[in-house]
Structure 1
């Protein structure tokens, strides 16, 4: 069991009492210099295409609240998560997006910042938003409790969703791959085909989870932004 979870241990490879595995998340900075060439590479063109698709999705969410430059943080978040997820698929590379300490550090600041700003600017509107229209008076305390809990756990659900999906796929690859030494013939060939298919699925999961994390974060922020804009009459 220790070997099974060894790839998720951030303490391996300690250099000067520092968990060096976390440095793998910074290796995506190696891709940045390509954007400064006069002629863009295929990677840069593909990144620009994906960025435009993400911007279209964000424009549909924010609508009239969208302003130039407001989507840069979401594009950066999407790019960082998807590159980190793909780095985790490389053998012997630490998967930082499989740890709650990493995913929660991405989800909590965005949610907390929008929540504090919205509540501080329009406290009454946010409190009224906890009770749906037409709720009976007897059920109002229960609805307030339910809506409060559902709002508070949002960053936690974002963090757990991303980490759990990355851990599940990696563990399945390790469990199936460790059986190869005990197999032979057609069974081994079938296992190899299954591992290739599972790795392809993991590539899709890496993209989907980055997209889901970004879109849900924007939805949560848009909800608080709409309440704030209604106060100032926008």
Structure 2
């Protein structure tokens, strides 16, 4: 059994000798498809409207020369990250999106596929991206090095941004919650209010970080077209 909230960040934690930590990552695969068999409810209509807004925004970022259906990749990415971020808000549920093993496995294949597609099909376009327009001739070698480094670290920055933002708020909630037994009743009531406000902030962060991850992936893919 888990002894404290910190153990929910430990991938090796066992529950009744069963390693069920990564189960929360797959729960969406069991729950989300059921919505398609139900009579449309308010929740499903709201979710469909959100996906349509994301589709239009991703379509605008990808440009007129993008392949049909390419926005579904980033909509699915947004939905997966948002679901895992939201599941991590519940106590004693393993936050899979706060670990580099998951975030890097999402960012690295996407970045590699974009780079392979761009360098194979649009080689001249990719070389043009290494030197921004209007760069003086003397600075071109330095700009190529800087642009190459910034391009290489893109998957790691995507992964670290998502993992760090998710684990930071959870640890803050944990540290504040552990001070509860040492407080009087008045301080505990204030602590509960602060915890609720932080929980609302974490819910907003879970939406924002999934949106940022998807939108940056879309921007990176639009550069190779």
Does the alignment reach a TM-score above 0.5?
A: yes
| Counterpart check, 1:28 vs 2:17 | no
**Alignment match, 1:40:** 40
* Structure 1 pair 75–15 and aligned structure 2 pair: CA distance change class (3 A): farther
Paired residues, number: 223
Q: For 1:145 and 1:80, locate their aligned partners in 2 and report how far apart those are by CA, in whole Å.
A: 34
* Structure 1 pair 25–185 and aligned structure 2 pair: CA distance change class (3 A): same
**Alignment match, 1:13:** 14
* Structure 1 pair 141–208 and aligned structure 2 pair: CA distance change class (3 A): same
- Deviations 1:69-105 (CA, angstroms, capped at 9, x unpaired): 2211111111111000000111111000000110011
| Counterpart check, 1:153 vs 2:153 | yes
* Structure 1 pair 132–66 and aligned structure 2 pair: CA distance change class (3 A): closer
Mapped contact 2:5–2:91 kept (Cα < 8 A): no
| Counterpart check, 1:119 vs 2:119 | yes
Q: CA deviation at 1:67?
A: 4.5
* Structure 1 pair 15–112 and aligned structure 2 pair: CA distance change class (3 A): farther
| SS of equivalent to 1:5 | helix
* Structure 1 pair 123–59 and aligned structure 2 pair: CA distance change class (3 A): closer
**Alignment match, 1:168:** 168
Mapped contact 2:22–2:94 kept (Cα < 8 A): yes
What's the TM-score once normalised by structure 2's chain length?
A: 0.92
* Structure 1 pair 133–68 and aligned structure 2 pair: CA distance change class (3 A): closer
**Alignment match, 1:196:** 196
Q: CA deviation at 1:133?
A: 2.4
What's the TM-score once normalised by structure 1's chain length?
A: 0.89
- Deviations 1:23-81 (CA, angstroms, capped at 9, x unpaired): 22001123224223251233322221110111121122123124542211111111111
Q: For 1:53 and 1:168, locate their aligned partners in 2 and report how far apart those are by CA, in whole Å.
A: 29
Q: For 1:39 and 1:79, locate their aligned partners in 2 and report how far apart those are by CA, in whole Å.
A: 21
What is the aligned-residue RMSD (CA, Å)? Answer: 1.9
Q: For 1:204 and 1:215, locate their aligned partners in 2 and report how far apart those are by CA, in whole Å.
A: 16
Could you list the runs of 5+ residues in structure 2 that have no partner in the other structure?
A: none
Could you list the runs of 5+ residues in structure 1 that have no partner in the other structure?
A: 226-234
